[in-house]
Copies of this chain bind each other. A is one copy, B any other.
């Protein structure tokens, strides 16, 4: 980490900073420039967080060199993490396809969705039982009844379940029904929930926040992992930008970027990212070509009657066509469908 002093910082202020760092166990070196002096410090970045160095008189800025995350980093663990849920793997050669409706609405709807998803080759079933909705007047989910339906349907179709939890209560309730717990975009920095997820011992699908940097996202994973749960799946689902033609801007570069920074698997959600049914297929193919370990695709037996996200949901036919188109691309990337 490098502490940049202000041009007019006195020798005293410089040694004060130096002293503080040495005190804190850092190995330091003072470098005198023409205009500025900088103090380079070698040590654990985490120790710096609460030192308030930038508040010291004479300090212009503090430039961190190392990443703030450890457990999620490839520097700590080189080999890729492969998560195995009842025989379905995420992060390995298998391309993990998670499909299903935005919200669980009824036994029929879910059964029909699950059946066609499975038929087409998806092995993970998604469906929301607790819906965080922007409007208090929108449908909020079937809650426990929805979890039951998911578990039942998954068993009948031999699939693995993925469903969102929104607080500790819904998390506890989901433990008996759900195989992979999803933490949604709006809760990516709900640290209490992240810790609870870490304690749950279940694989966690961690969606990227609307405006979270890759570093903040990996720090959120670090929260889960620091509770002893290493089974984190990162899900890119689009970030918020100035562009309004799509619901969000899918940041596919984050996929290979994270592959370089972390050992965790990365999947992509083209449905929420684009918000447009027509863009789901091309962006699914692009995600696979970018090296994603899997996809999370919204699919509904009758999108026009869906209680949420109809506009971005594929119908069963569209979904199975997508799966067909995906095979050669997956093959080109050395992935199996």
Stretch among A42-50, A116-124, A147-155, A172-180 lining the B interface: A42-50
- Write out the residue numbers on chain B whose beta carbons fall within 8 Å of the beta carbon of A308: 50, 52
Say which residue of B166, B215, B256, B288 sits within 8 Å of A283 (CB atoms).
Answer: B256
Beta-carbon contact of A241 and B241 below 8 Å: yes
Task: Closest B residue to A313 by CB, please name it.
Answer: B55
**Among B29, B49, B331, which residue has its beta carbon within 8 angstroms of that of A138?**
B49
How far apart are the CA atoms of A278 and B308 in the complex, in Å? 36
Minimum Cβ distance to chain B for residue A291 (Å): 5
**Who on chain B is nearest to A31 by CB?**
B40
Which residues of chain B are near A68, meaning CB under 8 Å? 134-135
CB distance from A54 to the nearest CB of B (A): 4
A201 at the interface (CB under 8 A from B): no
- Asked if A283 contacts B242 (CB within 8 A), the reply is no
Let me know if A85 is at the binding interface, CB within 8 A. no
Contacts of A252 in B (CB 8 A): 250, 252, 283, 286
Q: Is A190 on the interface with B (CB-CB < 8 A)?
A: yes
Q: A55-79 CB contact bits vs B (8 Å, 1 = yes)? A: 1110000010110100000010000
A209 to chain B, nearest CB (A): 8
Contact A216–B134 (Cβ < 8 Å): yes
A49 CB contacts on chain B under 8 angstroms = 135, 137-139
Report the bound CA distance from A178 to B333 in whole Å: 37
Minimum C-beta distance from A63 to chain B (A): 6
* Interface membership of A306, Cβ < 8 A: yes
Q: Kindly state the separation between the CA atoms of A232 and B221 in the bound complex, as whole angstroms.
A: 33
- Complex CA–CA separation, A213 to B290 (angstroms): 24
Q: Is the CB of A310 within 8 A of B52?
A: yes
B243 and A303 contacting across the interface, CB-CB below 8 Å:
no
Question: Cβ of A202 < 8 Å from any Cβ of B?
Answer: no
In the assembled complex, which residues on chain B have CB atoms less than 8 Å from the CB atom of A273? Answer: 253
In whole Å, how far is A180's beta carbon from the nearest beta carbon of chain B?
21
The answer, yes or no, to whether A269 is at the interface (CB within 8 Å) is no
Contact across chains for A289 and B286 when beta carbons are under 8 A apart: yes
Q: How far is the CB of A265 from chain B (nearest CB, A)?
A: 15
Q: Which chain B residue has the least Cβ–Cβ distance from A6?
A: B75
Q: Interface readout for A201-225 with B: 1 if CB under 8 Å, 0 if not? A: 0000000011101111001001100
Given known pairs A186-B189, A243-B251, A332-B328, the reply for A278 and B305 (CB within 8 Å) is no
Interface residues of A (CB under 8 A from B): 2, 4, 7, 29, 31-36, 38, 40, 42-43, 46, 49-50, 52, 54-57, 63, 65-66, 68, 75, 132-139, 166-169, 186-187, 189-193, 195, 209-211, 213-216, 219, 222-223, 226, 239-246, 249-257, 260, 273-274, 276-279, 282-283, 285-291, 303-308, 310-311, 313, 325, 328-329, 331-333
What are 14 A-to-B residue pairs whose CB atoms are below 8 Å?
A32-B42, A55-B277, A133-B191, A136-B222, A211-B240, A213-B242, A241-B251, A243-B251, A282-B289, A286-B289, A286-B290, A328-B328, A328-B331, A329-B332
Which 5 A-B pairs rank lowest in CB-CB distance, beginning with the nearest?
A52-B310, A55-B310, A211-B211, A54-B311, A289-B289
